[in-house]
Amino acid sequence: MAQPIVPFARPLFLCDEVVARDRGKVDFLGAFHGISPATYPHVQPKMCVVAHLSGGLGDVTTYVDIRHAETGRLVATTIPRLVSFPNREVLLRLVQRFGAVEFATPGIYLIELCCEHMCIADTRLRLRDLTSGTAGGPK
């Protein structure tokens, strides 16, 4: 069996929910790139990571990791998911859902999209400090 060709991703984005509509339309509800918790640890009840992938070929295993940027500590991950690219021109929308992710401290967290165990795209999620409203850690 031939090795799959790993796709490339356009920028990832985060939202509360993704709702499919008729005629191929999709609503992205509650887009965000930062969270201002009232207390720590903070549990984010749900969030979606949305990616648009193209240029892949064959069956590709994907998953999303959330890591604390400063320490590299894994905070959460999704179950690996197989996606299929019948040809290199296909544009595929991938939505990975998280429920009840606990963020122990303020700071920057990396949301990493992995295909075939390689990070092909990431975005930052900023959890703001309770006192200053900025992300914790070094500047």
Reported as a single tens digit per residue, the pLDDT across 39-51 is 999 999 999 999 9
pLDDT at residue 135, rounded to an integer: 60
CB count in 10 Å sphere of residue 25: 8
* C-beta of residue 102 within 8 angstroms of C-beta of residue 75: yes
- The gap from C-alpha 67 to its chain's centroid, in whole angstroms, comes to 11
- Residue 113 buriedness (CB in 10 A; 0-12 / 13-18 / 19+): buried
Quick: pLDDT tens for 75-103.
999 999 999 999 999 999 999 999 999 99
Would the pLDDT of 20 be above 50?
yes
Quick: pLDDT tens for 51-79.
999 999 999 999 999 999 999 999 999 99
> pLDDT band at 139, cuts 50/70/90?
very low
Q: Which of 38, 41, 19 is nearest to 28 (CA)?
A: 19
CB count in 10 Å sphere of residue 22: 5
- The gap from C-alpha 74 to its chain's centroid, in whole angstroms, comes to 13
How far is the C-alpha of 136 from the C-alpha of 128, rounded, in Å? 7
- Which pTM value belongs to this model? 0.88
